[in-house]
Amino acid sequence: MSAVAGHVPQVTGRPVPGIEKEVLEQLRAAFGPKLSDVKIVRPQLLEVSIDRKDLVPLCTYLKNTLGFEHLSCITAVDWKDRFEVVYHVENYYNGCMVQVTARIPYDDPKIVSLTGLWNAANYHEREAWDLMGITFEGHPNLERILLPTDFKFHPLRKNFAQEVDRQYITRRKLRGGT
Amino acid sequence: MPEFWINMGPQHPMTHGLWNMKVKVDGETITDAKPEIGYLHRGYEKIMEVREFQKNVVLTDRLCYVSSITWSHAYCLAVEKMMGIETPERGQWIRVISLELQRIASHLMWLASYGPDLGLLTGLLWCLRERELFLDLIQLMSGARMNQNFPRVGGVRNDLPENFGAMCRRSIEHFLEKVDNEYPKIFHESKVFRMRTEGVGRISAADAINWGVTGPNLRACGVNVDLRRLDPYETYEEIDFEPQVWHDGGAGDSYARFVVRYNELKESCGIILQAFEKMPKTGPYRVKSPRRAEGEGYAKTEDSRGEALFYVIGDGDDRPYRVKIRSPVFCTMAATPMLLRGNKLADVVAILGSVDVCVGEMDK
C-alpha cells in the first residue's frame, strides 16, 4: 500500500478494488490473535472485533500506518449483558471502511478515549456518554451534549423504558375496544 | 481589552434553527467559540427502536425537512443491507433521480438562506423561485412537497408519473439558464458578496479530515471525496459525473464552500438528465421486504450536507434493535470553533451560513 511506502498518496476519489483483503492481511500480520470475528462483509467493508485494551494500538496502526484518517462514527450498543462500542473508520485514499467493535463488560462501562487520534471522536464520545452512559477515559470534556446537563438517565439503555412498548393501533382499538 | 462571551442564539437570525453559538470576543476579534446544541433533540434513535422497519421511514424523513428523501433513502439502504435484499434496477434509477432532485432543492434552500445572511435579499427570492420548480417535480413524483415518505425498504413507493422525463428536462433547461447567466450576477460577480466571503472561515484539509468534516465542506478544502464515487451506491457507478472539488488557491474559505455547492447544482442536473437516458423504460421498482430481520447493516451516502451514515442492528424482531444516525452537521459543528477563531464578529454569519446547518439532523 502506498501509505506504507512513505510518500503522501493522492486522494483520487475512487475506490481501489480488493483493498479490503489487503487491509485484512496487514491487520492480521500486525495483531494476529488479538482480532476476533474478522470478516469481509462486502467489497470495501471489513469487520473486526477486539478487546478494549487493544483498541488504541489498533486504531493508531490504522490511522498512522494504513492511512485511515477519517473517523466516521462511534456507536454504543447495549446488549443487556455487555456493551459494545463500534467504530467506523474510513480511508479516503482507497475507500476502505473498517468497522472495529470493542466489547465492554456491563458492570464496568469504560473505554479509552480516541480524541488523541481523531478530534472527530470528541463529539461522538460525548454523545455516547450522554445517551448510553459509557465513560471515555481521557476525554477532555466529557459532558452531556444533546440532553440537559441535569438529566439523570442514559436513555438509550435498554432498561430505560419507553412510554409505550409498541406503537400499534389495532382495528379493535379503533372500534373502541381494548 | 477584556474578553467576554456573547450568545448568538438560541433565537438569532443567524442560526437557521434552534441552537446557540457562544463566541468569546476580544474587541471585534473572536478568540474562542463554543456551540451548544441539543435544543431539538427528539430521541430519534430511541423512538425508532419501537417502530417497525417500514414505519421508521416516516421518521427519518423528518430528520431534515429540507432534505427528506436523502435521509430516508440512507435509512432504507442500511436496512436493505441488513436484510440482504436489493432494489430492482428501475427502482435504483428512480432513487437516483429523486435524490438529485432533493439535493438541488436542498442546496437552493441553503443558497436562499445564505443570501439574507449577507444582506442579499434578491438571492432569497430568486433561489426560492427556482426551488419551486423542483418542489413541483418532487410533488408530482411523490405527492408531497416536503416530508415525502418516498423511499421504501426494498425500493420506492411508486413509479414515476407519465412523461416525467420531459417535465424534468424542461425545468432543468430553464433552471440551468438561470444558473449560468442570471445567478452569477448577484453572487460570483458581486464585489460585496466576494468581500464578505473570500478569506473568512478558513480550515485546512488536514484539520477538516481530522475533525470529521465531510461533504461539500470537505471538498471545498480541496479533498476529492464524494461517496457517490468513493463508495458507489445505487447506480451512481454508471453515471458520468465530476465530483465538485475546489482546486484553486484559498481553499477552505466560505467562498470555496459556496462555489462547490453552486457547482453541485449544475452537476446534479446533469445526473438527472443522464439517468433518464440510461434507466430501463419499464420494470419492477420495488421488492417485497421481509418483516423480520436479524444481523447488522450499515450504509453511508452522500447527503446534501455530507456523509450520512446509518448503522442498523436487528435481533430477529420486526423492529430494529439499535439504530445509529451519523449526522454530517453534528460532526461539522465540532469544527466550527476552528472556523471562527481569529475572524471578526461580523463574519460569524458569513462563516456559519456557508457550512449549511440543519438543526433537525444535528440534534436527532
The strand pair at A110-112 and A135-137 is best described as parallel
Work out the burial of residue B60: count CB atoms within 10 Å of its CB; fewer than 13 is exposed, 13-18 middle, 19 or more buried: buried
The domains of chain B are located at: 4-363
- Grid cell, residue B178, equals 438561470
Tens-binned pLDDT, residue by residue, of chain B (364 aa):
788 898 887 888 777 778 888 999 998 899 999 998 888 888 888 888 888 888 889 989 888 888 899 999 999 999 999 988 989 999 999 999 999 999 999 999 999 988 888 888 888 999 999 999 999 999 999 988 888 889 989 889 888 998 999 999 999 999 999 999 989 988 888 898 888 888 888 888 888 888 989 989 988 888 888 888 888 888 888 888 888 888 877 778 889 999 999 999 999 999 999 999 988 888 898 998 888 888 888 898 988 888 999 999 988 888 888 999 999 999 899 899 988 988 888 888 888 888 888 888 888 8
Q: Could you identify the residue written with the cell 489498533?
A: A58
**CB–CB of B300 and A72 under 8 A?**
yes
- Cα B204 to its chain centre, rounded Å, is 21
State residue B120's pLDDT score.
Answer: 86
The closest alpha carbon to A31, from A50, A18, A45, A46, belongs to A50
- Cα B218 to its chain centre, rounded Å, is 13
Report chain B residues whose CB lies below 8 A from the CB of A160: 46
CA distance A73 to chain B (A): 6
The strand pair at B20-26 and A110-112 is best described as unpaired
Indicate the SS3 state at residue A101: strand
Strand pairing partners for A71?
Answer: A89
Q: Of how many residues is chain A composed?
A: 178
C-alpha distance from residue B132 to each of B9, B73, B127, B195 (Å): 29, 22, 9, 30
Of B46, B81, B300, the CB nearest to A155: B46
State residue B174's pLDDT score.
Answer: 92
- Grid cell, residue B236, equals 451512481
**CB–CB of B326 and A146 under 8 A?**
no
Q: Of how many residues is chain B composed?
A: 364
ipTM: 0.87
Indicate the SS3 state at residue A122: helix
Q: Could you identify the residue written with the cell 464585489?
A: B191
C-alpha distance from residue B54 to each of A173, B79, B99, B101, B153 (Å): 22, 9, 19, 23, 6
The CA distance from B94 to A100, in Å, is 34
State residue B268's pLDDT score.
Answer: 92
Of A11, A73, A166, the CB nearest to B224: A11
The CA distance from B149 to B157, in Å, is 8
- Grid cell, residue A93, equals 485514499
C-alpha distance from residue B330 to each of A32, B41, B338, B364 (Å): 35, 12, 15, 9
Q: A-side interface with B, Cβ within 8 Å? A: 11-15, 42, 44-45, 69-73, 75, 77-78, 86, 88, 92, 95, 97, 99, 118-120, 122-124, 127, 131, 144-148, 155-156, 160, 162, 164-167
CATH ID of B4-363, from 1.20.58.760, 3.40.190.10, 3.40.50.620, 1.10.645.10: 1.10.645.10
DSSP conformational letter for A103: E
CATH homologous superfamily for the domain A2-174 = NADH:ubiquinone oxidoreductase Nqo5 subunit (3.30.460.80)
| CB contact at 8 A, B257 and B219 | no
Give this prediction's pTM.
0.89
Cα torsion B208, B179, B62, B321: sign: negative
**CB–CB of B309 and A88 under 8 A?**
yes
CA distance A177 to chain B (A): 22
The closest alpha carbon to B164, from B99, B213, B97, belongs to B97
B120 phi-psi bin (left φ>0, alpha ψ -120 to 50, beta other): beta
**CB–CB of A146 and B364 under 8 A?**
yes
